[in-house]
Structure formats: C-alpha cells, structure tokens
Amino acid sequence: MSAMTETCTREISKAEVERFLYGKHITACPACGRFRSQCDLDVQAITCQRPASAGASATPVDVLMVVCQNCGAIQFHERTVIAKWLDCQRRVK
C-alpha cells in the first residue's frame, strides 16, 4: 500500500477535522456564527455520488459530514482533501 493510499483510507478523528477547519480559518459555524470551540461538532463519514459529466459515469466520493451541535447546520468536506491537508501539516512539522 502506498503512503498516499494509506493517508486517504485511514480514519480521520474529530480533533483532526477541527484542526483542518481552524487551519482553513473556518472558525465559526456558517449558519449560527457560534465560535467552534463553544460548538461541539458531530463528524460522520459518508459516501455519495459525484454527478456524471458528459460521457463519464458517476463516481463515488468519500465525504465527512460536519454537524453543528448548536444549530444543526451541516457542512460537507471531501475526505481526501482533509487527509491530504493533514498529511502536509505532518510533513511541515
């Protein structure tokens, strides 16, 4: 298994999702505006289908569904994007 495959398939913890959001300066819920440290998050891994483009078939996409426990707002983040960002942060340290 390559390092990239391992990065993309390993579990991503709630703490890592929070680190990603802060690293991208997404520090408040976009719906209620509550600051992330005061708003507990629920993180669920799901797979959905990316719509097919002209002549191509639909492809599955692994996403993390982040739910604000204050207002129930839902955000979706592509799992591979978070995994790659976390991997890059590890290499920088």
Residue 87 has pLDDT above 80, yes or no: yes
Q: Which residues contact 29 (CB under 8 A, 6 or more apart)?
A: 36, 39, 68, 70, 71, 73
Q: How many domains does the chain have?
A: 1
Spatial contact of 64 and 48, defined as CB atoms under 8 Å apart: no
- 32 against 55, higher pLDDT: 32
Residue ranges making up the domain that contains 65:
3-92
**pLDDT attached to residue 40:** 86
d(CA 80, CA 88): 12
pLDDT digit string (tens) for 3-49?
Answer: 444 545 678 999 999 999 998 888 999 899 998 877 788 999 999 88
**pLDDT attached to residue 8:** 58
Average pLDDT over residues 46-58: 80
